[in-house]
Amino acid sequence: MDYPAHIAQKLFSRIQGAYGMEIEGLEGFLETPPDPSLGDYAFPCFKLSKALRAAPPKIAQTLAEGFAADEYIAKLECAGGYLNFFLNQAAFAAAVLDEVLQKGEKYGASGEGQGRVVCIDYSSINIAKRFHIGHLSTTMIGNALKNLYNHLGYKSVGINHLGDWGTQFGRMIAAYLKWGSREMVEEGGVKALMALYVRFHEEVENDKSLEDEGRFWFKKIEEGDAQALEIFAWFKELTLKDAARVYETLGVSFDSYAGESFYNDKMGRVVDELRQKGLLVESQGAYVVDLEAEKMPPCIILKKDGATLYATRDIAAALYRKDNYDFAKSLYVVAYQQDLHFRQVFKTIEKMGYDWAADMEHVSFGMISYEGETLSTRKGNVVYLEDVLEKAVEKARAIMEEKSPELEGKDEVARQVGIGAVIFFDLFNSRIKDIDFYWDRVLNFDGETGPYVQYSHARCCSVLRRGEGVPQVPDYEGLNNPQALAVLRALERFPQVLREACQRNEPYLVARFSVELAQAYNRFYYEHQILGESAGVSAARLRLTRAAQAVLRLSLSLIGIQAPERM
């Protein structure tokens, strides 16, 4: 039941009858009162004051006169310039629960994205470097957005734009040939490569000629030298193998691993097209796109030595993605430090005459620190994500041993809770906020955390197991109380939350919603006996529990978290 539309239609009829006028868009004016005692929906009559040439209180009184209650609207009250609508709670409960339980995992889904593609560029790890905690946000925000857009009917294309090009890879080869061995790297994997990377930057402080060696070996890669390419391909294989373990643990997958090197033969088009369109100008030996009119520094396309830059590759990637996927949206889940870079890239594409530049968006996010410390790969001060996830599972396992020693399948539950806690902590706040990762907050079972939501889901499952065999003929008067109504309102709001999360590219809205629903259900659980009342009342309360369980599970799933049935 679309209650706002129903109320808007009744208002439309009353305005027509009382004032002889037709006013559109009434549904958009409806508000949700902050206090449930003021009704379920409120209409601010000051929105009509100018059109109807009357004071809001007078409009409210006129529209309320002769307003007939029906099976959906129990009553209407005037409060100053507001009309407050009170729903028929039994009918509301039946409508919401029918909708949730009939649609199940498809609840909140829609066809609004039918036939439309969304490209999502996220995670984008660097070759020859381990997956560290700083990659958590881009990976999990991107994964959540992919799930959310798919749920709304879009076809999401997940792209891991690998960092597999640049002078740093020449440095890696130089370091490997100077201080490493095949046996050492085979045994140590990416950890060994990282140790070589850190050593290179330590040694270069005393021997600047090492930078020349790094440039030499990168030039060898560019020229297609067999030895350089063999070593580089080996580094890439080791990196992807190392990252695959982490992605599998997180439940993250991609549709494309086309990285920077993939666009090597596609950048000529960018340079040629910019020249042909008169956009490429020389500046101090380099070639740039002038963005002074847009109050931005120039977008550098070619350096003095003719080398390309990130911007060149990102423009080539954008053109390729539009040609191959014909995206309706193209999202870049990259830290906020790259804001200027993406503004330059998008503006350059727009100046090239491509109106689809407006469909590209930088989905920025803040930085992660760990237990109060900032992280630096070059200095070796880095926390690896695989280590964090393993520690989270160990800590969750210890909590399980203490709180539920008889629980079956503790290892699997600990895995779901530990990993889920890390993901939830990352996604709980607006993405632009910086995050400080503290263990006592991450694995708290009582706060606004993943374990709290998972435990609430497990509680619902426990109630449903105990309620098996109760006759399923619900008496919805058993839900005529403020606590049940709060759960129902949350359930009804879920599709709106999903739409807003996609409109704003903010998965935290779904994470926050899951906490709100869990809190609402737990208040209901503590205030009201679910089993032991009359069969009809118990059936209604079990239906509410089943709906809460289904939506808690779905909301967690959409942000990449599993929901244990027992904890």
The per-residue pLDDT for range 190-226, each reduced to its tens digit, is: 889 988 988 998 999 999 999 999 999 988 988 889 9
For residues 52 and 43, is the Cβ–Cβ distance under 8 A?
no
CATH of domain 3-87: 3.30.1360.70
Q: Say whether pLDDT at 532 is over 90.
A: no
- Give CATH 1.10.730.10 domain extents, the chain: 385-558
- pLDDT number for residue 375: 56
User: Annotated catalytic residue: which of 47, 129, 161, 362?
Assistant: 129
- Segment 427-432 shows an average pLDDT of 94
Using alpha carbons, list the distances in angstroms from residue 493 to 8, 76, 499, 545: 18, 22, 10, 16
- pLDDT number for residue 373: 65
What's the CATH class of domain 117-274+313-368?
alpha beta
Helices and strands counted in the chain (H then E):
19, 12
Respond yes or no: is residue 132 known to be catalytic: yes
Q: What angle (nearest 5°) sits at the alpha carbon of residue 178, between those of residues 173 and 180?
A: 80
Task: Please report, rounded to a whole number, the percentage of residues in the chain having pLDDT higher than 90.
Answer: 74
User: Annotated catalytic residue: which of 132, 161, 410, 457?
Assistant: 132
Contacts of residue 181, defined as CB under 8 A and 6 or more positions apart, other chains included, come to none
Burial call 111-131: b when 16+ CB within 10 Å, e when fewer: eebeebbbbbbbbbbbbbbbb
- Give CATH 3.30.1360.70 domain extents, the chain: 3-87
Tell me which residue of 429, 454, 412 sits closest to 556, measured CA to CA. 454
Q: Say whether pLDDT at 1 is over 80.
A: no
Q: Which pTM value belongs to this model?
A: 0.90
- Give CATH 3.40.50.620 domain extents, the chain: 117-274+313-368
Contacts of residue 290, defined as CB under 8 A and 6 or more positions apart, other chains included, come to 279, 281, 283, 298
Task: Please report, rounded to a whole number, the percentage of residues in the chain having pLDDT higher than 70.
Answer: 98
Q: Pull the structure tokens for residue 35.
A: 């206090």
> Which DSSP string do the residues of 249-306 spell out, in sequence order?
HHT---SB---GGGGGGGHHHHHHHHHHTT-EEEETTEEEE--GGGTS--EEEE-TTS
Residues 563, 462: Cα–Cα separation, whole Å: 13
- pLDDT number for residue 330: 98
Query: Using CA atoms in the order 309, 315, 321, 324, what is the torsion angle rounded to 10 degrees?
Result: -100
Average pLDDT score, the chain = 92
Measured between its terminal Cα atoms, the distance across the chain in Å is: 35
- pLDDT number for residue 443: 79
Residues 464, 565: Cα–Cα separation, whole Å: 11
- Quote the distance between the C-alpha of residue 191 and its chain's center: 30
Q: Say whether pLDDT at 160 is over 80.
A: yes
- Segment 505-533 shows an average pLDDT of 96
- Segment 162-172 shows an average pLDDT of 89
Tell me which long-range contacts 533-539 makes (C-beta under 8 A, separation of at least 24): 533/478, 534/475, 534/478, 535/470, 535/471, 535/473, 536/473, 536/474, 536/475, 536/478, 537/475, 537/477, 537/478, 538/467, 538/470, 538/478, 539/470, 539/471, 539/472, 539/473, 539/474, 539/475
> Which DSSP string do the residues of 206-256 spell out, in sequence order?
T-THHHHHHHHHHHHHHHT-HHHHHHHHHHHHHHHHHHHHHHHHHT---SB
- pLDDT number for residue 133: 86
Q: Which residues pair with 330 in a beta bridge?
A: 119, 360
Contacts of residue 260, defined as CB under 8 A and 6 or more positions apart, other chains included, come to 161, 162, 163, 164, 165, 166, 310, 313
- pLDDT number for residue 212: 92
One-letter amino acid at 59 equals I
Q: Pull the structure tokens for residue 142.
A: 């991107």
Q: Say whether pLDDT at 462 is over 70.
A: yes
Q: How confident is the model at residue 374 (pLDDT cuts 50, 70, 90)?
A: low
What is the third-level CATH fold of 385-558? Answer: Isoleucyl-tRNA Synthetase; Domain 1 (1.10.730)
For residues 310 and 168, is the Cβ–Cβ distance under 8 A?
no
One-letter amino acid at 255 equals D
Tell me which residue of 38, 36, 55, 37 sits closest to 47, measured CA to CA. 55
Q: Pull the structure tokens for residue 389.
A: 């996830």
Residues 18, 510: Cα–Cα separation, whole Å: 42
Tell me which residue of 26, 82, 42, 41 sits closest to 58, measured CA to CA. 82
- Segment 431-454 shows an average pLDDT of 86
How many residues appear in the chain?
567
Q: Say whether pLDDT at 377 is over 70.
A: no
Tell me which long-range contacts 182-189 makes (C-beta under 8 A, separation of at least 24): 185/234, 185/238, 189/238, 189/241, 189/242
283-331 pLDDT per residue, tens: 999 999 999 999 999 999 998 888 788 999 999 999 999 999 999 999 9
Other C-beta atoms closer than 10 Å to the C-beta of 69 total 11
Residues 38, 381: Cα–Cα separation, whole Å: 55
- pLDDT number for residue 372: 67
Q: Say whether pLDDT at 540 is over 60.
A: yes
- pLDDT number for residue 381: 58
User: Annotated catalytic residue: which of 47, 75, 106, 135?
Assistant: 135
Of 48-57, 365-374, 403-412, the least confident = 365-374
Tell me which residue of 366, 284, 1, 329 sits closest to 146, measured CA to CA. 329
Residues 515, 497: Cα–Cα separation, whole Å: 13
